[in-house]
Amino acid sequence: MARRAERLLILLDLLRGRPVVTAATLAEALEVSARTVYRDIEALLAAGVPIRGEAGVGFSLGQGYFLPPLTLTEDEAEILAFGARVLSIWSDGAMAAQVEMALTKIRAVLPQAARDSAAREILWAPPWVTRHPPAVDLLQLKRAAQRRQYLRITYETLNGTLSERSVRPLSLSFFGPVWLLIAWCELKADFRCFRLDRLRASEVLEQTFRDEPGKRLADFRRAKGEAVVREMAGSGV
């Protein structure tokens, strides 16, 4: 029996190849029970795959879901898969699920040789590394930065003091093994880097902000740069 990631890929291939496929047909092809098929379908739906199902008829895949064929070399495919696995290991559950679904889509349109190369995992990211897991939802913070929505956060400093702040999220930065939120802090009227493992609470506000000179990510990079990020990753504000 294939591992679940491989099984999901095969399941997507089966759905792509036919207008409608019954659960019994999928179960036979995958060598699993119908109940497992239903669980896999639910996992794909939760990840945003447009699968339509009708009782007594079967399942079908929405049009336009798959990428066109990709012309990646074996080295490119292996490096891409390795990078995705690293992100999956060092992120949270929600982002890891998105990474796995993205890989599943990419594998589905790779030439067989490139797909086999990526699956061999010669470049390997062990999952049992020492981590500083984020205490908040990475995707939620990413979307707040994309939409320019203020965040209200509760942050614990190195000495254990808690403070509430209103910040403009600008970027999420992974500075292994620590994730940082780079933001403009309204309390300090300056840029700050917040370690995500020290965020005790975060709330995305409806209020949005505009790009203002002196408060943008590009301004942070010019004014603060690598030295500040290194310092914050090691200690925190």
What is the rounded distance in angstroms from the CA atom of residue 187 to the CA atom of residue 130?
33
Domain assignment present for 34? yes
The CATH number of residue 42's host domain is 1.10.10.10
125 within a domain of the structure (yes/no) = no
Nearest one of 10, 18, 100 to 61, comparing CA atoms: 18
Q: Which residue shows structure tokens 């060598």?
A: 31
Continuous H helices in the chain: 4-17, 23-30, 34-46, 74-90, 93-108, 112-119, 138-147, 217-223, 225-234
Instruction: Decide if 66 is inside a domain.
Output: no
The verdict on pTM exceeding 0.75 is: no
> Cα(106)–Cα(108) distance, rounded to whole angstroms?
5
Write out the two tokens for 66: 């798959």
Do residues 194 and 141 make contact, with C-beta atoms less than 8 angstroms apart?
no
82 shares its domain with 52: no
198-236 pLDDT, tens digit each: 999 999 999 999 999 999 999 998 887 666 666 655 554
- Over residues 55-63, mean pLDDT: 81
Residue 18 lies in a domain: yes
Judge if 227 and 144 occupy the same domain: yes
Domain co-membership, 86 together with 146 = no
Average pLDDT over residues 27-44: 89
Q: Specify whether 160 is located in the same domain as 213.
A: yes
Based on the fold, state whether residues 168 and 144 are members of the same structural domain.
yes
What percentage of the chain exceeds 70 in pLDDT?
86
Residues 205, 146: one domain? yes
Residue 111 shares a structural domain with residue 151: no
Which range, 82-96, 109-123, 127-141, is most confident?
Answer: 82-96
Distance CA 222, CA 170 (A): 14
Residue 229: its pLDDT value, please?
60
Whether residues 229 and 168 share a domain: the answer is yes
Q: What pLDDT, on the 0 to 100 scale, is given for residue 205? A: 96
- In the three-class reduction of DSSP (H, G, I as helix; E, B as strand; rest coil), residue 194 is classed as strand
If you ran DSSP here, which 8-state letter would residue 2 be given? -
- Please indicate, yes or no, whether residues 89 and 40 belong to a single structural domain of this protein: no
Distance CA 199, CA 138 (A): 12
Asked whether residue 86 is domain-assigned, the answer is yes
With a cut of 70, say whether residue 65 has pLDDT above it: no
pLDDT class for 122, splitting at 50, 70, 90?
Answer: confident
Number of domains in the chain: 3
205 and 168 in one domain?
yes
214 and 158 in a common domain = yes
Which phi and psi angles does 172 have, rounded to 5°?
A: -105, 125
186 falls within a domain? yes
Domain carrying residue 17: 4-61
- The whole-number average pLDDT for the span 188-201 is 92
Cα→Cα distances 92→116, 171, 222, Å: 27, 17, 30
Same domain for 144 and 227, yes or no, is yes
Residue 172 CB neighbour total at 10 angstroms: 19
pLDDT of residue 84: 87
